[in-house]
Amino acid sequence: MARHTVHVTVNGAALVAEVESRLLLVHLLRESFRLTGTHIGCDTTHCGACTVLLDGVPVKSCTVLAVQTDGRNVTTVEGLEKDGKLHPIQEGFMQEHGLQCGFCTPGMLMTGYALLERTKSPGEDEIRHAISGNLCRCTGYVNIVKAVQHAAAKLR
């Protein structure tokens, strides 16, 4: 069928949308659900500005169809803060100047968050490797690494 109803849990909230088959997940989030924290930076699946978690795993939401998320869980940057309390990954970025223009930041936060869910003390090279699917033009990555390490220390 060319249109489907998608039931997807986004940041813990059960949402519904009627969508075209071809609707990309990133547009479902940004336009159907008005969660504009997830950004679009390219058209060839390189930049990672669109990174969200699908069932806890980072994916590039520009290369996932909305219909593929039916019955599943999506977490976006808007879902990191809980009850007014920032997640350590968000604190880390702020404390270590891990962002400048802020456009790649949501993708970096989601990738960093997922990394710290699986690794307690990632080293620098491990962090650089984990974020190698997320491009940044402003920071030169040095402080992003520090931000993730700051968050790791807070979480330990």
Binding to other proteins, residues 102-141 (CB under 8 A): 102-106, 109, 111, 124, 127-141
State which residue, 105 or 116, has the beta carbon closest to other proteins: 105
Exactly one of 5, 7, 42, 120 binds other proteins (CB under 8 A); which one? Answer: 42
16 interacts with other proteins by CB under 8 A: no
Query: Read out DSSP for 73-100?
Result: EEE-GGGT-BTTB--HHHHHHHHTT--S
Using an 8 Å Cβ cutoff, are 113 and 145 in contact?
A: no
> In terms of DSSP bridges, do strands 57-60 and 3-10 run parallel, antiparallel, or are they unpaired?
unpaired
142 interacts with other proteins by CB under 8 A: yes
62-101 residues in contact with other proteins (CB under 8 A) are: 62-65, 67-68, 70, 76-78, 80-81, 86, 90, 93-95, 97, 99-101
DSSP 8-state symbol, 8 = E
